[in-house]
Amino acid sequence: MGGFWFTEKQTENFGITMKINKTLHTEKTDFQQLDMAETEEWGNMLFLDGMVMTSQKDEFVYHEMVAHVPLFTHPNPENVLVVGGGDGGVIREVLKHPSVKKATLVEIDGKVIEYSKKYLPEIAGDLENERVEVIVGDGFMHIAESKNEYDVIMVDSTEPVGPAVNLFTKGFYSGISNALKEDGIFVAQSDNPWFKADLIKQVMSDVKEIFPITRLYTANIPTYPSGLWAFTLGSKKHDPLKVAEERFHEIDTKYYTKELHNAAFALPKFVKDLTE
Ligand code: SAM
């Protein structure tokens, strides 16, 4: 039998509880507490500072929705940047677009990459691909040093705590705009409208000041706080709701579809109110 129950407290008064069969690795890295565990329901799961990052069973939702919405919106994405994303899932999805010539990953914690490769091979397996460059470093600094370089930037960071605090600031979004080409697009994971409404309001307000097209979309991620996850998209020229039909080439996915591409931007009233 064995095993134990673990609760991730999603607020002070509410959490998600799951059965852990065994701990695979636990370590305090230079940046955060890293735990990798085998769970009964969700397969192997990565936790950082006690928060669910990704699991073998539901990881495809988040990784597909971060990657394919901006990559199908851009008419010809060739040079792509992922900030964070050390588990490799977003990179795996980016590589499904033949137009992408180079995908750069900037992940601050090399241990996340190391243990994702070891325990989440089906998520991290493409980090060795010849089109991928992995940089272990601070995404904030990388953005500050980049100019007019990327077609699409995806911010797949942890919550605005610890090393990710700077990745939710107006200064960072301004840096992203400078790092993008003149028709560039960026997406940032933006937490959830049930418990982090203020964060979503702030991010939307900041991004709107910088990008002419700013939209919020959502997806259902059962292991994330509240299960309703939000993504903020900022675009200099291309509107995600005006993608030509012929742009949607065949792609191997389990969640994303071209119908869902548009439907994801249809928001419940209480979420829509956060964007105005
Ligand atoms: N999908 C998850 C979510 O939405 O919370 C994020 C998963 S991914 C593992 C988050 C990664 O962001 C972590 O590996 C963390 O080390 C990385 N990260 C945090 N701050 C960073 C920074 N300033 N530069 C680069 N990577 C950073």
- The β-bridge partners of 104 are 81, 133
Measure 22 CA to ligand 1 centroid, in angstroms. 24
State the span(s) of the chain assigned CATH 3.40.50.150. 59-240+251-275
Ligand 1 atom closest to the Cα of residue 138 is: 24
Measure 78 CA to ligand 1 centroid, in angstroms. 23
CA–CA distance, 175 with 99 (Å, rounded to integer): 25
Q: Hey, how many other C-beta atoms are within 10 angstroms of the C-beta on 28? A: 9
Q: What is the CA radius of gyration of the chain?
A: 18
CATH class belonging to 59-240+251-275: alpha beta
The tens digit of pLDDT for each residue in 102-142 reads: 999 999 999 999 999 999 999 999 999 999 999 999 999 99
The tens digit of pLDDT for each residue in 48-83 reads: 999 999 999 999 999 999 999 999 999 999 999 999
Active site residues: 156
CA–CA distance, 232 with 200 (Å, rounded to integer): 8
Domain 4-54 adopts which CATH fold? Spermidine Synthase; Chain: A, domain 2 (2.30.140)
State the span(s) of the chain assigned CATH 2.30.140.10. 4-54
- Tell me which residue has its CA closest to atom 20 in ligand 1: 164
Measure 158 CA to ligand 1 centroid, in angstroms. 4
What burial class does residue 263 get, using C-beta atoms within 10 Å of its C-beta: 0-12 exposed, 13-18 middle, 19+ buried? exposed
Residue 198 assigned ligand-binding role: no
The answer to whether the pTM exceeds 0.85 is yes
- Integer angstrom CA distances of residue 155 from 139, 185, 234: 9, 11, 12
Under 8 Å between Cβ of 110 and 135: no
The tens digit of pLDDT for each residue in 194-212 reads: 999 999 999 999 999 999 9
Q: What is the pLDDT of residue 116?
A: 98
Mean predicted lDDT score pLDDT of the chain: 97
